[in-house]
Structure 1
């Protein structure tokens, strides 16, 4: 293909030819012949485009002319027209490429094209080489940023930025997706049912440790975004903490042939505590497990017996796979990078984020764009859940309009920036404690209203409702739980039908 070789030479040093003493630099990886073979196949048979169009983009070509040819051809084909050397030349001009015109070059590509059968292989070659060139650019950016870092930049921030760029390269235009046979999906579904039958509690997902909640949800499902929402004081952080700890405490694994660990029961938990410090979170869990009120632990108002319970509980919790990140002001990009790192280094089965409104988008936005920023956050969390194939439990605040109603049970419309949260979430559940509101309405003692209030307080004391307002793969409804405020502990509610028979 002498004319083609001519155009390659015209483009300049793409073939890396010359004496050993001439260039002192390395040429970025490329394969002009693969690009030419692919473009020729497309020009001869436009069906070749369908084999590469879902992962190959114009910028993946190393040569500018090839980018233009592929871009114009793709636009014509997607518009239902035919892409041939004749139809393309109108959009590419009549430039001289060193003794050969563009129409002549296109004709030569088509004349010496390979068959459409090899188009996908050539497309993958072009794509893989583009990734390598992109990696080189990222490496250069990392080196330059390390040499010329601004005063306010931190090495950790640079690492997270590099991880984000690398992940973007890995995910853009992946060619390992696409359609799969329904029989393969059936096999996966049957395997999931079999594992659920073998697992404790007969659950398809990860058991939360709260029986009635698990019965309603089937456990926490892989790749689900689960939202736990509530007004301040309802105990949403306590519920998330209880569930996370129950999962970590139940962790069991088996060793695979390659030495890695496969989770059998429970799971490895990552907890992003954007509001509370790790010590505050640990104090809550110690209180829950030891039975000593958390305010007593904070004040040091404990007896020798209490200290023994605390020490024993702390000893039992030493080895559980529960990892806390207490960094405040994280962006969704930083959170995603840290979650991937935990998955890679320690494993990850459940991720908890406390709470949504304390996250920021990857780009600085004005206050007027908070809704768009929240959309980016919820979409990012859902994508992270699917990518890592783990449930992501994210806490969310509710708007103040709940307080203006007589019935203060929350609804989906009470979610802040509810459009994106409600849309992206697979499960939305609200934490509601009627006792919290009744306690603040105590009438004067001795009145008839006081007796009614006292009866209502006895009815709701130590009870909480988890209202499942949305669930993609299950029913909605209300689950009642027991709540011990001093220990910030949710547990299964003792019911008459579960109690031993009284003689």
Structure 2
């Protein structure tokens, strides 16, 4: 037999049967659940938090579930009579009309007690069907090997789709009904009411900042910018540690954990090593100068403080990734993995200009930064976490008389200002005043300088230059440089902070 004939020869019967496999489904479970809902609408509330119409396999069942859901949510009764008016009367199910089919579902309904079990079975089968689709796509793309999709980007795409499926039970994105959006908004308000400080977002641990921002809002991209020496990294580590230290988990109905207060923090430190970052945090917590810790210039009492602090810090859910020059795709893949394995509530990136884009080297840096900020914004939405991204400012600040940063100082970095939901500038006037100290202390200007220095010493301004859902303005904080620590001022009207 030649090759062509061999290819066209019929398969043995058992082999032919193996080639057609029906997608996993259970129509009986769908019928039983719909029957239970039509007989007793309370059954719907047993499954409404996890089961959506898209999870049902049979198109008619999807439509029945969708119509019944809307009727019940409007406070009306869903039964065969009220549901049938919203379905096509001339549709047939075998020999039955739709109205007869609905009546049959209700007549053969099982107990409401089993509704949740049937719902879970339907949901699990829907996940399996989605897994099969993702798997088939992976195989087909790997065989076709399109030029614009190297293996690495296919892995990242598959990881993203699997992550969405694991998180939400669906991976197609798509539209969400306004009803669902309203329900989410009400849930957020309820959670804010129950949370410490009544914040809609995650508390930064700095009350005056929370007062202006309402905490860090989920899916927001928060740009924290400043010139070198202003304390960007210090403020970011302060906030990251405050959130992680305040972490208080709450068990959800499905057995998973969710942060009631605080949260799990992922910190991408592209500039400093994890040891340097840890030294800063230990210094801030123990009030032992970080330069002394590095030199080992500490007393016995200080060392005991450090040991006690390190033991306490071991329990804190703060995870550090110190890979330099990481790309947005790698960062996203690692963040998804962290969320799956440990949970994730806040992401910090220190800092944007040290990341690499996937653009070809011929293209300019502005486009690369644009790709990075757009990617960070999309990642925040996908993971539903706030992302604090640190950014350098242009040198234009230094040539101005007034050194306070403005949004225009971000301009050279393309879409940073556009993509950000919140833009914060860290500004320490003390840094500039200190550098203007007259060399001669008998200089008449020396007293003037001294008075100015007393005013600004130990303070810092966090300028909220942009905020999509809140006011702009300036928050005055205390800054202890030797411990790299930002805190609330004891009295905001009193600007000097005694060390």
3-state SS, counterpart of residue 491 of structure 1: strand
Aligned counterpart in structure 1 of residue 285 of structure 2, from 289, 292, 306: 289
Give the stretch that moved more between structures: 258-267 or 223-232.
258-267
Cα shift at 1:403: 0.1
For residues 358 and 252 of structure 1, the distance between their equivalents in structure 2, rounded to whole angstroms, comes to 33
- The answer to whether the aligner puts 1:18 opposite 2:10 as a matched pair is yes
Cα shift at 1:27: 7.1
Corresponding position of 1:71 = none
Q: How big is each residue's C-alpha offset from its partner over 1:128-178, in whole Å with a ceiling of 9 and x where there is no partner?
A: 876443222466799xxxxxxxxxxxxxx98x7554031466689954521
Corresponding position of 2:426 = 431
Cα shift at 1:365: 2.5
- The answer to whether the aligner puts 1:374 opposite 2:369 as a matched pair is yes
Q: Residues 211 and 167 (structure 1 numbering): CA distance in 2 closer, same or farther, change over 3 Å?
A: same
Q: Using structure 2 for the length normalisation, give the TM-score.
A: 0.69
Q: Residues 29 and 419 (structure 1 numbering): CA distance in 2 closer, same or farther, change over 3 Å?
A: farther
For residues 218 and 183 of structure 2, the distance between their equivalents in structure 1, rounded to whole angstroms, comes to 17
For residues 481 and 271 of structure 1, the distance between their equivalents in structure 2, rounded to whole angstroms, comes to 23
CA contact (8 A) 2:160 2:333 kept: no
Unaligned ranges ≥5, structure 1:
1-12, 32-124, 143-156
3-state SS, counterpart of residue 414 of structure 2: helix
- The answer to whether the aligner puts 1:452 opposite 2:455 as a matched pair is no
Corresponding position of 1:441 = 436
For residues 308 and 172 of structure 2, the distance between their equivalents in structure 1, rounded to whole angstroms, comes to 52
Q: How big is each residue's C-alpha offset from its partner over 1:280-338, in whole Å with a ceiling of 9 and x where there is no partner?
A: 00000000000000000011111111111111111111101000000111011000000
Corresponding position of 1:207 = 203
Corresponding position of 2:469 = 473
- The answer to whether the aligner puts 1:417 opposite 2:374 as a matched pair is no
Cα shift at 1:184: 3.2
For residues 20 and 161 of structure 2, the distance between their equivalents in structure 1, rounded to whole angstroms, comes to 17
3-state SS, counterpart of residue 227 of structure 1: strand
For residues 416 and 29 of structure 1, the distance between their equivalents in structure 2, rounded to whole angstroms, comes to 56
Q: Pairwise mapping of residues 21-170 of structure 1 onto structure 2 (< 5 A)?
A: 131-137=134-140, 163-167=155-159
For residues 164 and 186 of structure 1, the distance between their equivalents in structure 2, rounded to whole angstroms, comes to 32
For residues 137 and 28 of structure 1, the distance between their equivalents in structure 2, rounded to whole angstroms, comes to 17
For residues 459 and 447 of structure 2, the distance between their equivalents in structure 1, rounded to whole angstroms, comes to 20
Q: How big is each residue's C-alpha offset from its partner over 1:64-87, in whole Å with a ceiling of 9 and x where there is no partner?
A: xxxxxxxxxxxxxxxxxxxxxxxx
For residues 492 and 343 of structure 2, the distance between their equivalents in structure 1, rounded to whole angstroms, comes to 41
Aligned counterpart in structure 2 of residue 341 of structure 1, from 325, 328, 337: 337
Q: Residues 376 and 139 (structure 1 numbering): CA distance in 2 closer, same or farther, change over 3 Å?
A: same
CA contact (8 A) 2:221 2:380 kept: yes
Give the aligned length.
378
3-state SS, counterpart of residue 398 of structure 2: helix
CA contact (8 A) 2:426 2:461 kept: yes
Cα shift at 1:415: 1.4
For residues 127 and 306 of structure 1, the distance between their equivalents in structure 2, rounded to whole angstroms, comes to 56
CA contact (8 A) 1:30 1:126 kept: no
Unaligned ranges ≥5, structure 2:
1-6, 24-127
CA contact (8 A) 1:203 1:218 kept: yes
Corresponding position of 1:178 = 175
Corresponding position of 1:44 = none
For residues 130 and 251 of structure 2, the distance between their equivalents in structure 1, rounded to whole angstroms, comes to 36
Q: How big is each residue's C-alpha offset from its partner over 1:392-448, in whole Å with a ceiling of 9 and x where there is no partner?
A: 000000000100001000011111634310010000000000000011111121222
For residues 189 and 198 of structure 1, the distance between their equivalents in structure 2, rounded to whole angstroms, comes to 15
- Once superposed, what is the RMSD of the aligned Cα atoms? 3.4
Corresponding position of 1:115 = none
Corresponding position of 2:385 = 390
3-state SS, counterpart of residue 415 of structure 2: helix
